[in-house]
Copies of this chain bind each other. A is one copy, B any other.
């Protein structure tokens, strides 16, 4: 009898297993195969894409190397080398985790986990039954096809298949200007591909959680790098031809390319794992219904990550796993707080958001105050040759922080300062008196705090 059996050893599953082990629980993992340990994020998602994005970022840095007295004589690009490096990192993380699980005696059972009862998971096809006091479902999500665009790994790729490319495409059509689309558009562009980025809506990153300003900055930079951005546009027709695809877009333009990458659409993996059999309820979209402690309709069965809502982020799953486990241990101070979940996009800029945008806050009836400080005059950003972007803070009339939106260097790391403050309920009075090092990018956060707390100083004009 295990204290906890976790179905799925992706981000949520393995973070959960480590956390449960830390907290003294006897825990086991069930995962499809040794090759899928780490899940989508590690094997087909954030980890390999962030590796390639780092290469793209380094190529981007080449543009102003001369200003540091470094004069390049030229360079060549090799997808083979890039792929080798990327696969080495992914493999290292995966094998390290498996070795560590073994070391701390957390067994991983390979196969498909199926709920046989509220205290029983059967591993298929072996049929081995694992008895458990608690069960955590962490089965993740899968890509979905877009209409007749069935990923074939030759003309049409999705984020499961793009990793198999052996050469950089000469030209690529990226469908979808969301987080995935803008990341790959940047990567391929920096590695020399011609990129056509097609987005249905009227802006890139068309999520209500991302301020329009972030979309505008990103579009301007991607265009400057040569990405052909087509907004309010869809793919009307496509056909294969000898050397790739021929596409007709809704604006009437015809584009030929080596391939089409689908940057859209995932569905939760909640079919065929025994939910109905044990009475775990799902909503109309297939997501498992959970309470604020990640508990399903069967009290000792919990769920985390991509299967609990459409916010499909690895760290959401990791955090929900910890919430679930702490609740199993009788604690109630960790709760689902989707508003405090960071969203970080890695493209031509790092774009990080937490909490509400100005528009969302107004819609919720807050009297909104906004402070924006640009990186343009931030000394550290200037030293680093990366002084584009901004810190944007959204607060209410009492000085409570409602949201933070950072675009620029290391935005994804910088955001954590504000995430911690928001979670702790510390507002502008605290932030405007906070210490910072000089020179640092973090200064801009404190300055933005002063902008809202004391009123604008003109220096940091609103954009």
Contact = CB atoms under 8 A, between A and B. Distances in A.
B450 A22 contact: yes
A50 B342 contact: no
Interface in A1-59: 11, 18-19, 21-23, 41-42, 46-47, 50-55, 58-59
Contact of A434 (B380, B420, B459): B420
20 contacts: A23-B454, A41-B439, A47-B383, A50-B384, A58-B68, A69-B77, A70-B75, A313-B437, A315-B436, A315-B438, A333-B433, A340-B435, A342-B435, A352-B437, A410-B413, A417-B420, A420-B434, A423-B430, A423-B434, A423-B435
B71 A81 contact: yes
Interface of A: 11, 18-19, 21-23, 41-42, 46-47, 50-55, 58-59, 61, 65-85, 88-89, 92-93, 96, 100, 103-104, 191, 313-315, 318-319, 322, 326, 333-334, 337, 340-342, 344, 352, 377, 379-380, 382-385, 410, 412-417, 419-421, 423-424, 426, 430, 433-442, 445, 450, 454-455, 457-459
A21 to B, nearest CB: 7
A50 B380 contact: yes
A437 B344 contact: yes
Contacts of A75: 65, 70-73
A59 B70 contact: yes
B434 A419 contact: yes
A188 to B, nearest CB: 12
Given A69-B77, A315-B438, 7 more contacts: A42-B379, A46-B439, A73-B73, A319-B435, A413-B440, A416-B437, A424-B426
A416 B436 contact: yes
Contact of A18 (B80, B334, B459): B459
Query: Interface on chain A toward B: helix, strand, loop, or mixed SS?
Result: helix
Contacts of A21: 457
Contacts of A412: 437, 440
Contacts of A65: 58, 75
Contact of A413 (B80, B313, B383, B414): B414
Nearest to A75: B72
A152 B462 CA distance: 48
A424 B430 contact: yes
Contacts of A71: 75-78, 81
Given A70-B55, A437-B315, A459 B100 contact: yes
A442 B415 CA distance: 10
A221 to B, nearest CB: 20
A203 to B, nearest CB: 23
B410 A318 contact: no
A261 B423 CA distance: 47
Nearest to A441: B413
Nearest to A451: B22
A290 B399 CA distance: 32
Contacts of A445: 416
Nearest to A333: B433
A350 B145 CA distance: 45
Contact of A415 (B81, B334, B437, B438): B437
A416 B440 contact: yes
A42 to B, nearest CB: 8
A254 to B, nearest CB: 31
Given A59-B70, A73-B74, A342-B437, A442 B413 contact: yes
B436 A383 contact: no
Given A412-B440, A434-B420, A438-B314, A55 B68 contact: yes
A102 B198 CA distance: 47
Nearest to A378: B93
Nearest to A51: B383
A3 to B, nearest CB: 16
A206 B103 CA distance: 38
